[in-house]
Amino acid sequence: MEILNDIGIIIGISLMYAAPLMFTSLGGVISENAGVVNIGLEGMMTMGAFAGAAAAYFSGNPWIGFIVAGLAGGALALLHAVACVTFTADHVVSGIAMNFIGPGLALYLCKIFFDGAAMTLPLDLNHKIPRPLNNILPPDSFLNSVLNQYATVYIAFILVFLVWFLLYKTKLGLRIRSVGEHPRAAETLGVNVYKMKYLAVILSGVFAGFGGAALSTAVVSNYRASLVSGQGFIALAAMIFGNWKPQGAMWGCLLFGAAQGLVVYLGGTSLKVSSQILAMIPYVITIIVLMVFVGEASGPAANGLPYEKNQG
C-alpha cells in the first residue's frame, strides 16, 4: 500500500510540473505549424511568470494574474511576429533576442514594483490557483495524490484537445497549417498569410505566458529570476518529440514532468543522491530525446523560411 501511495505521489508531482510545459509546448506547436520558429518561448514564459505573480499579488485574484500573464507573453510574441513576419528577420536570432528581453524586462519591472527586490512577494495560499478537488477525495489516498491538482493542470489537458481540434477540425486550423506548409499556395487561395502567422505567433506567446503563470501562481507562490530556468527549451524539445502535434507534445511534456517528479521524490527520500545530479536529470533527458528524435522529426515544410508577399 505504501508503494502505491509513493507511485501516486510521483504521478501527482509529475502532472503538476508537466502542466507549465504543456501550455508552453502548445504555443510552440501553434507558431511552428504556421511556419514561424519560436525559440523565444523561454523569454515569453518568464515574462508571463512575473506578470502573473505580480498581477495576482496586487489584485488578490490568481485568475486575473493568469490572464495578465497570457497578455504579457502575447505582447512579447508580438515583437517576435513583427521581426519575423513583417521584417523577415531570422527566426532563431529573433527568438534569442526574446529570450534576453523577457527575463531582463521581468527583472527590471520586478525591481520597480517590489522596491528593488529580485523576486515578487509571495502569494497568500488563498490567492494561489485553486485545487478543484481539494478535500473531496480521501486524504493520503492514491487518487488524492494523483487527482488533487491545481486547476492549471486540468486546463492544460483541456487545451491540448482544443488546440488539436482547432488545427485539424476547423477552417482556421487548416489555414494556419497551410501557411506553414506552402504559404504561396495558401495566398493564391485567398488566405491572408501575414494575418495567420501573426495570429499563431501571438497565440504562442499567450500560451507561454500561461505556462509561466502556472509556475508562479500554482507550483510556487511567487516569481524569481531562476523560476523558469530552461523550461521553455524543455517545452520546445517536447514539441519536437511530439512531431509538432498537440497530442504528441503532451506526451513529451508528461515525460519531462515525470523526470521532474522523480527528482523531487528522490530529493525527499533518505537515498543519498547528489542534489546536483538530481537537478541534471530533466536536462539530460532533454538532450537524449533530441538526439534520438530530432533526426526523425519533420516539421512543417515552410517552417522558419522567410515569406514576402507576391514574390515569385
pLDDT at 290 over 90: no
Please compute the mean of the pLDDT values over residues 87-103 and round it to a whole number. Answer: 96
Measured CA to CA in angstroms, residue 269 lies from 13, 61, 183, 185, 273 at distances of: 15, 35, 53, 58, 9
pLDDT tens readout for residues 252-273 = 999 999 888 888 887 766 666 6
SS3 content of the chain, % helix, strand, coil (to 5): 70, 0, 30
In a domain, 165, yes or no: yes
Is 298 a domain residue?
A: no
Residue 311 lies in a domain: no
82: domain CATH number is: 1.10.3470
pLDDT above 90 (res 289): no
Single-letter amino acid, residue 61: N
Q: Is residue 123 part of a domain?
A: yes
Residue-number span of the structural domain to which 224 is assigned: 2-293
With respect to residue 56, please indicate whether it lies within any of the assigned structural domains. yes
Q: Look at residue 99 and tell me if it is in a domain.
A: yes
Q: For the chain, what is the domain count?
A: 1
pTM for this prediction: 0.94
- 312: pLDDT confidence band, cut at 50, 70 and 90? very low
CB contact at 8 A, 297 and 29: no
For 255, half-sphere exposure in the C-beta direction (CA atoms, 13 angstrom radius) is 22
In-domain check, residue 307: no
pLDDT tens digits along 12-43: 999 999 999 999 999 999 999 999 999 999 99
Q: Is residue 312 part of a domain?
A: no
Q: Mean pLDDT across the chain, nearest whole number? A: 91
The predicted-structure confidence for 157-170, as pLDDT tens digits, reads as follows 999 999 999 999 99
